[in-house]
Amino acid sequence: MKRVIILWLLLFCLITTGTAIKVFGVTLDGFDFPVGIPDYVSQTKTISYTKWWLCQDFLEYVKDDCSTINSPPNGTHLGEDWNLGSGDHDVGKPVYAIANGKVIRSGSYGSGWGNVVMIKHDLLPWDKENYEYVVSLYAHLGDNRQVSTDDYVRRGQVIGFIGSRSENGGYSPHLHLELRSDKIATRFGKDTYRGCGYLNDALCNITDSTGWLDPSDFIEAHRPSPIPLSGDWDNDGIDTTGFFTPGTTCGEECQAQGGSAEPPKFSLDNGAPIEFGQAGDYPIIGDWDNNGYDNIGLFRLIRNRARFYLDTNNDGGLADYRIGFPHLQDLPIVGDWDGLNGDDLGGYDALTSTFYLYTLNYQAETITFYKSIQFGDSTKRDYPVIGDWDNDIKDDLGVFRARFPNNSTNTFFLAKGQTTETDHSYEMGKVGDMPVIGDWFPSDGNDNIGLYDPATGEFFLEPNIPSFANPDATAISDIIKRAESDNRFKSAIAESFGKNLNWLPEWELRWMDFNFSWGRIVRIYHATNKSDSSRRGTIFWDPDIGDWTSWESVYSLDQQAKRDMINESKNDFRFGDYIPGTFGKNLDWSAEWELRWMDFSFYGNRVVRIYHATKKTDSSVRYTIFWDPDVHSWTDWIKVK
């Protein structure tokens, strides 16, 4: 397995740490505290009229003045009591959802509880907890609850207000917050179990706290943290990594203290952060306009509406296009389902293991149902992964099955051709790792698997997994890309495909005919080198000029240079991996030569730059060289074969 230690380690250290998570059914980007100040509030027993404070902590029992009684006469508290000031001072103060989720109860429980809101937050499988979801309970609210049962809510959304004694069950005004795991449903038969707020209460007779969690401890361990991304940001044929930093929330009390909310930020490769979206949004990446550049996007769920927000030029700010989505409980996915017009949208219903694929017309802001496919195992908490595993232009399906807590290993299950059957499975990584997908190697056309370790900030990328050799599919992909680069082919229909594998001693020839509406047929030819399948090119007879076009390599000179330098690094065991963002070039290096370079990790925690020279008049003439720190001299110029 290749080990890629990305220069995001510094960025990672500057951002709140913790496991990046999202949910089955509702995308989740972390947890905040419920009182408008998303950061931790110290558990002080001192009454404050400017900051929220905890009168009664989890598993405490206290007097009315909030002094602790070590031997509780009636029981132990199963939540936290949040106060602002004393008496009725906090009546009417807003209460905020601690995370994205779905409301499973909004109503009155009467005496002892008053108005209650309960929200379910399902954790993804790489979260290290030994339960699959948590339920947050907000009690003693006023009658003017802001959400209804079955609503979807966002982190930081107002769900209600602190109630008066006449509304909240007869208590001195405060927020009673509980956090419960899925073990509550196992113990009591349902997630909306009422409870009594304390152990050993005569009404409930609960004798142990199994299933209840310390709210502040859990929130502190699951704060919003960076989410890994990958994409081809510069149209060079190589996917590189990035991060999405979730937005921050800032409620009434936060604003009163001079705070403000921060929008989410996309950090692509080593570029400047791009501000786009709101707290609670989840990132997506795709080539929306089919121009070879991947762009940012967001998925947003609120109340009974789901929507994608697309940015077609990575400039952030307001979305360029907004597309509604009918599957509210699905995890958002992106892929080119039909091989036409760029990436499309979809969702994965983890409860039924069903992929729902929709083709996208981004300019019309519409989607059209394409197909649904069942793949995966709903009992294993599978997570969707999308990639073109076999380089046939169309993206394929897969799932990532995390090791903990239900499975013995981390495993990728991949299917070619958007089918229901697994073609290959790959075990990889450890507990807590998150899946990433990308084309890590220049111009091979296949997407590959990888993992991100949020504990260390490291990416582990596999440039050769999966490896589904399909030279015909590769040729078709290259030919169609050549056609798409010429506006005259937009009205043409691809028809017959043929090949001659013995065209020349060193070359295979394939071709595809394109039929134009006015009766003209144009054949695009494709040549593949038998000893090096990465050397591929296309050509066709141009009827408008009555001559052949030039042979066009399937990759640009930048891609070619990157590939050469990566291959050179593989020939020396001391080299590690390419450091994203360090590719550079000087096209006027000399009268006859262009110069390009890339930095690589090197044995002994060093960085070494490999240089690449391309002859301007003949791009097949190429050389590499680097300064060898072990001998303190330049290597010889090595000709690329």
Q: What is the DSSP string of 246-271?
A: PPP---HHHHHTT------EEEETTS
Tokens in use for 481?
Answer: 């890309």
- Overall fold of domain 53-221: Glucose Permease (Domain IIA) (2.70.70)
Q: What is the model's pLDDT at position 117?
A: 97
8 Å CB contact between 177 and 195: no
Q: What is the model's pLDDT at position 567?
A: 84
Whether pLDDT at 555 is above 50: yes
8 Å CB contact between 626 and 574: no
Whether pLDDT at 383 is above 90: yes
Q: What is the model's pLDDT at position 64?
A: 62
Separation CA 295–CA 67 (nearest Å): 55
39 pLDDT band, cuts 50/70/90, is low
137 CB neighbour count, 10 Å cutoff: 28
The mean pLDDT value of the chain amounts to: 86
Whether pLDDT at 74 is above 60: no
8 Å CB contact between 590 and 566: no
Residue entry with tokens 């006023």: 142
Is the model more confident about 298 or about 496? 298
Q: What is the model's pLDDT at position 442?
A: 63
Burial of 635 (0-12, 13-18, 19+ CB in 10 A): middle
Query: May I ask the CATH architecture of the domain 9-15+225-461?
Result: 5 Propeller (2.115)
Whether pLDDT at 571 is above 90: no
Integer angstrom CA distances of residue 303 from 26, 150, 359:
11, 8, 25
Phi and psi of 552, rounded to 5°? -115, 120
Sheet containing 424-427: order of strands: 383-387, 396-401, 411-415, 424-427
At 421-458, the pLDDT tens digits run 898 999 998 888 999 999 987 656 789 999 999 988 88
Of the candidates 156, 368, 109, 364, the residue with the CA atom closest to the CA atom of residue 250: 156
Find the mean pLDDT for residues 394-420. 87
Separation CA 271–CA 278 (nearest Å): 21
14 pLDDT band, cuts 50/70/90, is very low
Is the model more confident about 206 or about 11? 206
Separation CA 103–CA 107 (nearest Å): 11
8 Å CB contact between 179 and 212: yes
Instruction: Mark residue 574 as left, alpha or beta (left: phi above 0; alpha: psi -120 to 50; beta: remaining).
Output: alpha
Separation CA 327–CA 329 (nearest Å): 6
Integer angstrom CA distances of residue 306 from 50, 100, 282:
37, 13, 12
Whether pLDDT at 413 is above 70: yes
Q: What is the model's pLDDT at position 62?
A: 76
Of the candidates 37, 41, 81, the residue with the CA atom closest to the CA atom of residue 59: 81
Of the candidates 120, 121, 98, 118, the residue with the CA atom closest to the CA atom of residue 108: 118
Separation CA 255–CA 147 (nearest Å): 23
Bridge partners, 308 (sequence order): 299, 323
Q: What is the DSSP string of 378-418?
A: GGGT-EEEEE-TTSSSS-EEEEEE-STTT-SS-EEEEETTS
Tokens in use for 611?
Answer: 């240089």
CA dihedral 624, 626, 628, 632 (to 10 degrees): 120
At 506-522, the pLDDT tens digits run 999 999 999 987 788 99
What is the pTM (predicted TM-score) of this model? Answer: 0.78
- 3-state DSSP assignment of residue 352: coil
Q: What is the model's pLDDT at position 391?
A: 81
Find the mean pLDDT for residues 569-580. 84
Q: Considering the chain, what percentage of its residues have pLDDT values greater than 70?
A: 91
409 pLDDT band, cuts 50/70/90, is confident
Positive or negative torsion for Cα 158, 161, 167, 170: positive
Task: Please tell me if the domain spanning 9-15+225-461 has the same topology as the one spanning 53-221.
Answer: no
Of the candidates 389, 442, 535, the residue with the CA atom closest to the CA atom of residue 237: 442
Q: Considering the chain, what percentage of its residues have pLDDT values greater than 90?
A: 49
Whether pLDDT at 556 is above 60: yes
Q: What residue segments make up the domains of the chain, in order of their start?
A: 9-15+225-461, 53-221, 471-553, 557-639
Bridge partners, 242 (sequence order): 229, 268
Find the mean pLDDT for residues 144-173. 91
Rounded to a whole number of angstroms, the distance between the first and last alpha carbons of the chain is 27
Q: What is the model's pLDDT at position 435?
A: 95
Of the candidates 401, 391, 343, the residue with the CA atom closest to the CA atom of residue 367: 343
61 pLDDT band, cuts 50/70/90, is confident
Whether pLDDT at 534 is above 80: no
Whether pLDDT at 260 is above 90: no
Q: What is the model's pLDDT at position 20?
A: 30
8 Å CB contact between 18 and 30: yes
Whether pLDDT at 28 is above 70: yes
Whether pLDDT at 24 is above 50: no
Which residues, other chains included, contact 392 with Cβ-Cβ below 8 Å and sequence gap of 6+?
339, 417, 470, 473, 476, 477
At 326-341, the pLDDT tens digits run 998 899 999 999 988 8
Whether pLDDT at 196 is above 60: yes
8 Å CB contact between 207 and 199: yes
Q: What is the DSSP letter of 378?
A: G
Least confident of 24-28, 53-57, 560-564: 24-28
Q: What is the model's pLDDT at position 559?
A: 81
8 Å CB contact between 616 and 623: no
406 pLDDT band, cuts 50/70/90, is low
Is the model more confident about 3 or about 399? 399
75 pLDDT band, cuts 50/70/90, is low
Separation CA 460–CA 434 (nearest Å): 10
Q: What is the model's pLDDT at position 43?
A: 54
Q: What is the model's pLDDT at position 13?
A: 31
Is the model more confident about 301 or about 142? 142
